[in-house]
Amino acid sequence: MDVVVTVPRLPAPGETLAGGSVHQVPGGKGANQAVAARRLGAPTVLVGAVGADGFGTVLSGFLDGERIDTAWVRSERGPSGTALITVVDGGENTVIVVAGANAAVSPARVTDAAIRPSDVVLLQGEIPAETNESAARAARAAGATTILNLAPFRAPSRELLAAVDVLVVNETEFAQLVGLGVGGGGAAPGIEELLRSGDRLAAPDGAPLGDVVVTLGADGALARIGGEVLVVPGRRVPVVDTTGAGDCFCGALGASLAMGLAPAEALERANAAAGLAVGRFGAGPSMPTEAEVAEALSAV
């Protein structure tokens, strides 16, 4: 559950600042990505957990209302995963995530779920690392496609990198992934150069990276897929709240690949979806529909 407070600016250390409003909005990276995929037309199964609390009840109801298969979403003792979010004027945000029930999503939970060769398995960093590794191995064994969103960032193991088909990171996460320190504005040219470097692209421990997508916010995205570098132009859109935009991109990318679209078209569709999501408040409920994305793409 995202507990979102709007503020005119971020407070200084030790300062008490009056907020404008407070909202409780269904969120969580796995749930956001599942909602984005389902709204874009892909049948979607979510494997995860909610807490035995009021947030868990609301989150479960929200997912059911989105027609997501929640047979693998379990209720665990203790609190649901919670994010404390501040949104400043202009839409930028800060996020503090408490794992809660997400920490109980075990490797066995994932490997027990049936994975088919036609599936796209979408993973992210709000569940234990060993669970992602088990899921990636199971997906590889089944012949499915695996997308790993390295957010929140933690250095992936060699085993995980070897089992994942596509990595999705933002600018800062990419810099951390390849050992460049903290990224930020102005880093895009360096990112494109690294993506074009082929075999030289690797993690700091020397583990080679396969296909990589780097999201750049309003500047679009860069990707290396099958050895080809793809450039997705930015979309200038009104920004209300950037919370969940990366999740929207990942869910839309996964849905598009599952529906058989070529990587370039899937990336363009994902970028358009994320552009729509930032124009709305909140995370899960802000994900656009298939019709809305089609309209946005036709308007370019």
217/228 Cα distance (integer angstroms): 21
Annotated binding-site residue? 29: yes
Annotated binding-site residue? 215: yes
Annotated binding-site residue? 161: no
Annotated binding-site residue? 32: yes
Annotated binding-site residue? 102: no
Nearest-10 crossing angle of helices 263-277, 290-298:
100
Which helix (H) or strand (E) segment holds residue 84: the answer is: strand 82-88
Non-local (6+) Cβ contacts of 56 within 8 A are: 50, 75, 80, 101
Annotated binding-site residue? 220: yes
Non-local (6+) Cβ contacts of 55 within 8 A are: 1, 24, 79, 80, 82
Non-local (6+) Cβ contacts of 240 within 8 A are: 91, 278, 279, 280, 281
Q: Is 247 a catalytic residue?
A: yes
Using alpha carbons, select from 185, 189, 154 the residue that is nearest to residue 197: 189
Q: Is residue 204 reached through a cis peptide bond, with omega within 30 degrees of 0 on the bond before it?
A: no
Helix (H, G, I), strand (E, B) or coil at 186: coil
| R_g of the chain computed on alpha carbons | 18
Annotated binding-site residue? 190: no
Annotated binding-site residue? 28: yes
Parallel, antiparallel or unpaired: strands 93-98 and 120-124: unpaired
Annotated binding-site residue? 260: no
Annotated binding-site residue? 209: no
Using alpha carbons, select from 220, 215, 269, 278 the residue that is nearest to residue 245: 278
For residue 119, give both structure tokens: 């599936």
Annotated binding-site residue? 132: no
Annotated binding-site residue? 246: yes
230/219 Cα distance (integer angstroms): 13
Q: Active site residue: 2, 53, 165, 247, which one? A: 247
Annotated binding-site residue? 31: yes
Annotated binding-site residue? 218: yes
Annotated binding-site residue? 137: no
* Binding site per annotation, positions for ATP: 170, 215-220, 246-247, 271
Q: Which residues are part of the catalytic machinery?
A: 247
Which residue ranges are tagged as binding site for substrate? Answer: 28-32, 126, 247
Binding-site residues for K(+), please? 241, 243, 277, 280, 282, 286
Annotated binding site: 28-32, 126, 170, 215-220, 241, 243, 246-247, 271, 277, 280, 282, 286
